[in-house]
Structure 1
Amino acid sequence: MSFPEQSRAAYRQVVALTGALFLSYLTVAMSLPAVPVHVVQHLGLPNAAGGLAIGIAFLSTILTRGIAGGLSDRIGGKLCMQRGLLIYAVACVICLTSSWGTLPNLTAYTVLIAGRLLVGLGESLAMVGMISWAIGLMGQPQTGRVMALVGAGMYGSFAVGGPLGMILLGRTGFAGVMAACTLLPLIGLLAIQAIPAVAPSPGRRESFWRIIGQIWQPGTVVGFQGVGFAVLGAFFSLYFLSRGWPYAGLGLTCFGLGFVAVRLLCGHLPDRIGGTPVALVSLGVEACGQFLLWQAYTPLMALAGALLTGLGCSMVFPAMGANVVKRVPPHLRGTAIGGFVIFQDLAYGASGPLVGLLADKTSYSTVFLVGGVAALLAMTLTLRLHRAVLIAPA
């Protein structure tokens, strides 16, 4: 599709920002399989310690979204993103030092936890700063397109980062993985230096919780949508293994293919026809995918359900993100984005453990019933938002 000539340069700049975000998220994705192996096999600590080393970064991300949003509003998205990329690099250097053989194991683990906490802060600053900066470059009417690119960069990095991290771990050890993770955000930092900054908009600042009060409805939609991805990521392989099916590793592959394809092909739709219509259709597709997983009696049906889930989940975040940005003035955009992303973070972080309790008492297929019901609840709330838009005065 085409868009105005004057937007082409800005679009290319946003694509470059997406590339830098992709590199920063490779840092996260490559470390996911490497960190628990390092903790358990090299530091000799239990599996729970490995899980904590992974989860602490996501907790840090949730707790610092508001900080990142406020900083982006005060100093601008470019400086915010640059600081995030630098913090990524520093965090990975700290994690690298935990592999030094001269450190006692508990000391090395403490150093690793400190580095992982900083990784979460870097992720918050880089992502929120990038979105705010990109919207400033493209203009608010292109918010949906911007957020679609962001998601493509993020999930593309997770698609390749995990396998790449395991390959590096086998060939270079944990120190080699962390050295690569240190370089990646620095390369991204160099790549964005020439892109012009967008000055922060003047205006009266408001409290983070006041902004949450304005955006909680689209945020809740994204939270419910995130349940489907969370349960698929946590339980798809176990679901297949419990039934003795092959191809257990292809669940996230099918999800990712559908997700990225829709982001690239349909990223313009929220800006063209509105966020709520796009979200309604997307959530319906996600619900179908989850219910198909719930009732699947062959591996092919289940893989089709994973693909449908990816197709459906893909556009909900940019569709609702466009809705969020319209609710606040430009000088509060970063704060709103930071608050909005928290809803998705919470869904990703809480769904697995909570639904896992249900799986222990029933079966793995039941978790996808929960994902489908969550998508239907999101559809209900989205329909209310759509009706509100229709009756709102022009």
Structure 2
Amino acid sequence: MRVRVNVFVPLAPKMVVVFVGFLIAGMGMPVLPIHVSQDLGFGTFVIGLITGSQFCSSLMTRLWAGDFADRKGPKKAVVVGLSLAAVAGAFYFVSLAVIGNPALSASILVAGRGVLGAGESLIITGSVAWGLATVGPQHSGKVIAWIGTAMFGALAAGAPVGSALFALEGFAAIAAATILLPLVMALLVAPLAPLPGRSTASASRFSVIKAVWLPGLGSAFASLGYGSILAFSSLLFLHREWADGWLAVTCFATALVTSRILLGHIPDRLGGPVTALVFAIVEAFGLLTMGLATQSMIALAGSALVGFGYSLVFPGFGIAVVRDAPPESRGMAMGLYSACLDVALALSGPALGVVGDVAGLPAIFVTTGLLVSLSTIVALSLLRRA
């Protein structure tokens, strides 16, 4: 317990930054599909396109964000990311100003989500690099898990807050919060002591890619469950005529946060691939449960299983990345590893939206469960390689 406390204390400020940065996404996720569907009149494909644009932007900026954190220092990366998140809120307001032209409004939302994706890329990559530099790679599982806990805790808290703001003042309230929260956090981060950027040349990108590609593939498959919950769970509840669809996101995030708080030490202790293997099976079962559920409580239980399963898959595969990546380029490696998540989410939004249009919303979750199960093959490959 003493070791955990000693690690937690220096990580706490980074966790607060990530919590505030991703509270923005938590507030927007459950209401954005409803806003696009009811206020703009578009179907699941456009919803998936707007949702996926954020992850597509993150994908395009992750490697740069990691290299930026290595060169300029992780604190500067975090501050720039918070500033970009505030700019995204301004795009939201512009999209509302032209809501009479749904196509233009949706296009501006795509741009705003893209800016937000770049900001969040810098926030999460910079915070992880900051944490690894502070407590050392021997605690890499805890760094990835606990900073991720702050991110998903923000999603859990943001879902009801966002739904309440949307009910009171509509999407304009979400836009205002998206501007104010990151600016306040940037002011609070300013007094923290920075860490210097690297003083040596970076490792070759080939060596970084070699360390990342296989665990990144496993993470990409597992992250499809995360994407389907964020983009389509609230619509599933509307389709089934169940109340309080935002609870699915909250159950997912709450189970994930609880698991990482109580079990975040497991990947460092048992090994990343073993942890990823076991928890990916749980995640896939939860998605199948959601797709086949005939009652809202069963669907919520399935969503919680998805969160519990996904909780340690990402840090499990991440340990393999930190172990094999060149020390002077760990920020770049973690940025590239996170980009694998973004590839999955950017492509899965529109693709799963097509599945929903053709076969119905429940089919999205059944299909995703089958895809997530492929990550177990990657975990077994890493075990054999080790």
Same fold (TM > 0.5): yes
C-alpha contact 2:159 2:246 (8 A) present in aligned 1: no
Q: Which deviates further from its counterpart, 344-353 or 60-69?
A: 344-353
Equivalent residue, structure 2, for 1:163: 160
How many residue pairs get matched? Answer: 385
Bigger mean CA offset, 265-274 vs 360-369: 360-369
Q: Residues 273 and 304 (structure 1 numbering): CA distance in 2 closer, same or farther, change over 3 Å? A: same
1:256 corresponds to 2:253: yes
- Give distance in 1, aligned partners of 2:292 and 2:173: 43
Alignment pair present for 1:285 and 2:282: yes
Over 3 Å counting, the alpha-carbon distance change for 1:291 and 1:13 in structure 2 is same
**Structure 1, residues 226-248: CA drift from partner, whole Å, max 9, x if none?**
12233344444555565666775
Corresponding position of 2:2 = 2
So what's the TM-score if we normalise by structure 2? 0.85
Alignment of 1:99-110 (within 5 A): none
Higher relative contact order (CA 8 A, sep 6+): 2
Determine which structure has more spread, i.e. the larger CA radius of gyration. 1
Instruction: Report SS of the residue matched to 1:314.
Output: helix
In structure 1, the partner of 2:72 is 75
Which shows bigger deviation, 361-370 or 375-384?
A: 361-370
Give the secondary structure class of the aligned counterpart of 1:200: coil
- Alignment TM-score, normalising by the size of structure 1: 0.83
> How far does the alpha carbon of each residue in 1:235-292 deviate from its partner, in whole angstroms, 9 at most, with x for none?
4455556566677554333322221110111111212222112112211222332344
Amino acid at match of 1:187: V
For residues 173 and 301 of structure 1, do their structure 2 counterparts lie closer, same or farther at Cα, with a shift above 3 Å needed?
Answer: closer
Aligned to 2:26: 29
Give the Cα–Cα distance (whole angstroms) in 1 for the partners of residues 352 and 32 of structure 2: 25
Aligned mate of 1:143, from 140, 145, 156: 140
Partner in structure 2 of residue 217 of structure 1:
214
- Partner residue in 1 for 2:318: 321
Contact 1:39 1:45 in 2 (8 A): yes
Which amino acid letter does the alignment assign opposite residue 2 of structure 2? Answer: S
**Higher deviation after alignment, 69-78 or 356-365:** 356-365
Cα distance change of structure 1 residues 255 and 184 upon mapping to structure 2, 3 Å threshold: same
* SS class of match (1:315): helix
Q: Does the 8 Å CA contact 2:19/2:151 hold for their aligned counterparts?
A: yes
Counterpart of 1:124 in structure 2: which amino acid?
A: S
The alpha-carbon distance between structure 1 residues 361 and 317, as it changes in their structure 2 partners (threshold 3 A), is same
Q: How does 1:20-59 map to 2 (within 5 A)?
A: 20-32=17-29, 53-59=50-56
The aligned residue for residue 66 of structure 1 is 63
Displacement of 1:365 after TM fit?
4.3
Q: Which residue of 2 aligns with 1:392?
A: none
Distance 1:288 1:53, change over 3 A: closer
SS of the residue aligned with 2:373?
A: helix
Q: How many percent of aligned residue pairs carry the same amino acid?
A: 34
Distance 1:297 1:68, change over 3 A: same
Q: Is the 8 A contact 2:272 2:320 kept in 1?
A: yes
Q: What are structure 1's unaligned runs of at least 5 residues?
A: 390-394
Indicate the larger mover: 73-82 or 374-383: 374-383
Alignment partners' CA distance in 1, 2:360 and 2:41 = 30
CA RMSD between the two structures: 3.4
- Whether 1:90 aligns to 2:79 is no
How far, CA to CA, are the matches of 2:108 and 2:231 in structure 1? 27
